[in-house]
Structure 1
Amino acid sequence: MTRIQKTAFVLIALVALVFGLTVHKVLTAQGQGDPTALIDAGIILLPQSRDLPNISLTDQNGQPVRVDELKDQWSLLFFGYTFCPDICPTTLAQLRELKTLLPPEALGRLRVVLVSVDPQRDTPTQLKQYLGYFDPNFQGLTGELENIQKLANAVSIPFIPANTDKPNYTVDHSGNLVIIGPDGTQRGFIRAPLNNQKLAVQLPLLLKREG
């Protein structure tokens, strides 16, 4: 390697280092914390936020909810169903535990929402009873299958509708969580399986952001 090549290599390395430190500083200043630590905790932020579709679903109290109006708090959306044999009860129990690990100011900024991928069986009454086993403050949404699919596709959490003619059918779905900001846009994901110890450290840093 010639002297010119060595000099160029050193300059490129320095530029890369300065750029990396600058990005790290900007993200930290925005309240996102260490981006490497966020990823290690399973938090994946989108480079650009996504709008939610303008559709209406029904909550566990039978009230209509516009999904593009989930605002004023950060929301964690989990697509599951009440007859799920494994992923859903495990995830909801982990989310219940996570809430006990978060500081009060973080809890006040966060809502947990179960979006049913089995609206045929998941009536508002069924959702309310089921969520009550985990945390009565968890919210549930159900509605027309077409609208639920539209929402799931918009946030990149697709699921496979079940053959409801079969008895005791199951629904294939993801265990990832969708992060919705207080402005009502999708900000990212939390990968499954959840690591509550790491999330308890990193999630409050994200929730400090106002939007």
Structure 2
Amino acid sequence: MTPALLVSVAALIFTVASFWWLQARRGKLIMSSIPAFSGYVATDRRLGVRLPILLYNTGARTRLVDELRLVFPPWDDGHAQWQTFHPTLKPESGDGDTADFAGPYPIDGRRAVMRFVKFTYAFGPVLPEPVETLCRVEARLDGSSAWTVVGSFTLYLGHMAYPDRFITYRNSVVPCDGEPESTYSTWSDLAATRGLDAPWRDGKGPIVGGREGTIV
């Protein structure tokens, strides 16, 4: 192979590789952290959680998000299905909190898309324990029936001091100012009121203070 031909072949390989990298490469979806969430325990024995799901497409090709689900590995059959999209994370009363049914959406290459997604989990007769709970977000992508993990995080259910109200909470080890260190008392009372089993009940300290919210 002559030097001129070698240079031509190298240039062609570089051109094709550059085109693939810039225009055709399929990337991964990466989920950002979850700094806050909104949650409540509904009267129909469902846990409702609204999350800010920000997904970034690392590749050049558009990826299609067909469906999302929230998985709780510590819980039996712990799959929370997506239900609705919302304009904000914080629930609003009246028409300010309009919802749309969750559905497929695209994420263009090297772009990020935010969706405020409400998930619901049917927990049955046993109320979940209000503690740090490992979660992961899974997605069906590009028409596939397989589920792909796009992110994992810890959901601080223990911050839900008023589980019968749809309220926004900080999702971190340290609760917001004014929030109690333990919410076992409130959750235990809720279990007793609604006839739910709470095997984790231990009667930890009382809940103090008040907070407005939408009763659900």
TM-score bucket of the superposed structures, by smaller chain: under 0.3
- What TM-score comes out, normalization by structure 1 length? 0.27
Structure number with greater Rg is 2
What is the TM-score normalised by the length of structure 2? 0.27
